C-alpha cells in the first residue's frame, strides 16, 4: 500500500504530510465560494447540533482560508450547513465538511467549534433545534 501511495505522490495524484497521504484535488474540480460580505452571525448546523457564532476574527480567518472548495461537497455524508445572518435574516447558506475545504480552513473551523477563541469569541452551542 505504501509503495502505491509513494507512486501516486510522484505522479502528483497524492501528497504526503506528517506521514499521512492525501489526494490532490485539481483546481478544475473546485470552486470559489462567494460568501456574503455583510453578516453579523454565523450559524453552523450539523445533524441535531447547532452553534450560533457572532462574527469575529476566527470566522473572518476561516472565510479568507476557504478560497477553493471541492465541487462534490454535496455528496458528503458528514456535511455541515453554514448560515450567514444579518439582523436576523439569512444572507447565504453554504455546505461545509472537513474533506472538501482547504486544510487551514478546516483547522480554523475546528478551533471555532471546540471553543478555543477568547471569551468574546466563544460560540454559543444550542442543541435540539
Condensed to tens digits (0 to 9), the pLDDT of residues 15-64 reads 888 888 887 888 899 999 999 999 999 999 999 889 999 999 999 999 99
Residues 5 and 45 in one domain: no
Domain holding 2, by residue range, is 1-29
Q: What pTM value is reported for the model?
A: 0.77
Q: Which of the four pLDDT bands, split at 50, 70 and 90, describes residue 127?
A: low
Residues 14 and 69 in one domain: no
Residues 2 and 13 in one domain: yes
Residues 19 and 62 in one domain: no
Q: Which residues of 67-91 are buried (b: 16+ CB within 10 A; e: fewer)?
A: ebbbeebeeeeebbebbbbeeeeeb
Q: What is the mean pLDDT of the chain?
A: 87
Give the mean model confidence (pLDDT) for residues 93-112: 92
Q: Which of the four pLDDT bands, split at 50, 70 and 90, describes residue 119?
A: very low
Residues 53 and 110 in one domain: yes
Q: Does the pLDDT at position 129 exceed 90?
A: no
Residues 3 and 42 in one domain: no
Residues 25 and 69 in one domain: no
Note the pLDDT of residue 126: 56
Number of domains in the chain: 2
Amino acid at each position: 500500500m505504501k509503495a502505491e501511495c509513494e507512486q501516486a505522490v510522484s505522479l502528483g495524484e497524492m501528497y504526503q504530510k506528517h506521514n499521512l497521504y492525501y489526494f490532490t484535488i485539481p483546481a478544475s474540480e473546485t470552486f470559489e465560494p462567494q460568501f456574503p460580505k455583510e453578516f453579523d452571525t454565523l450559524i453552523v448546523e450539523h445533524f441535531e447540533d447547532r452553534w450560533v457564532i457572532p462574527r469575529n476574527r476566527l470566522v473572518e480567518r476561516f472565510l479568507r482560508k476557504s478560497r477553493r472548495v471541492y465541487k462534490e461537497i454535496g455528496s458528503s455524508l458528514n456535511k455541515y450547513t453554514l448560515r450567514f445572518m444579518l439582523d436576523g435574516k439569512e444572507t447565504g447558506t453554504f455546505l461545509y465538511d472537513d474533506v472538501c475545504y482547504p486544510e487551514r480552513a478546516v483547522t480554523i473551523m475546528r478551533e471555532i467549534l471546540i471553543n478555543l477563541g477568547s471569551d468574546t469569541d466563544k460560540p454559543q452551542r444550542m442543541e435540539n433545534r
